Amino acid sequence: MRTAPKVVVLDYGFGNVRSAVRALERVGADVELTADRRSASEADGLVVPGVGAFEACVEGIEGVRGHEVIGRRLAGGRPVLGICVGMQVMFEDGVEHDRPAKGLGEWPGTVERLAAPVVPHMGWNTVQVPQGSTLFAGVEEERFYFVHSYGVQRWELEDDVAEDGSLRRRPPLVTWSQHGGRFVAAVENGPLSATQFHPEKSGDAGAALLRNWVRSL
């Protein structure tokens, strides 16, 4: 009999963690909410939620040494899923209220205020999903729930190309959405996946996305 995948939701003081825990449980995961580094390191999957300010979330993650756990997991090919600001902090830099801050640096790029006449971007929106997505399998045409004023508007990670012109590894799959201009809505990059929207608040479509991720573990 197959056991449920073990998923840890990183508890570092930021994020609507209870709704994420419940949503993951509903799609078949055995979920633990904890900041314990051993549990977070050994779980089949690690979820990094986030609500609020970029800099404060980075400080919270570093305060429980979550950045070390994330780095070690990714180095070993062990899955991590970032949600909302939990996605934003995976990038190198964030700028909020003209105040620059350093992110965790897993991807190059800067989180900036959305180029839209009305922020925050709050509510349901469609996404443009690349071919081959695992996260969005079966929900490519669905709408997801966003609540944010900042985002990544330029994807800066270059493909890893060998001397003969071939790709050394599969390039990341980047999903986009639009609010004023386009911004990164999700990334699938080997063991590291992330969504700018909240799958735990996105109804059946969000549940399907989380189920896809849990099954991939």
Q: Do residues 149 and 200 lie in contact, with contact meaning Cβ atoms separated by under 8 Å?
A: no
Catalytic annotation present for 198 = yes
Torsion of CA 203, 207, 210, 216, to 10 degrees: -150
Q: How far is CA 116 from CA 88, 93, 98, 122, 173, in A?
A: 18, 20, 17, 12, 25
What does the block give as tokens for 187? 């990334």
Given 57, 84, 142, 179, which residue is catalytic? Answer: 84
Catalytic annotation present for 84 = yes
Catalytic annotation present for 200 = yes
Given 121, 148, 179, 198, which residue is catalytic? Answer: 198
Given 55, 106, 188, 200, which residue is catalytic? Answer: 200
For the annotated catalytic residues, the residue numbers are 84, 198, 200
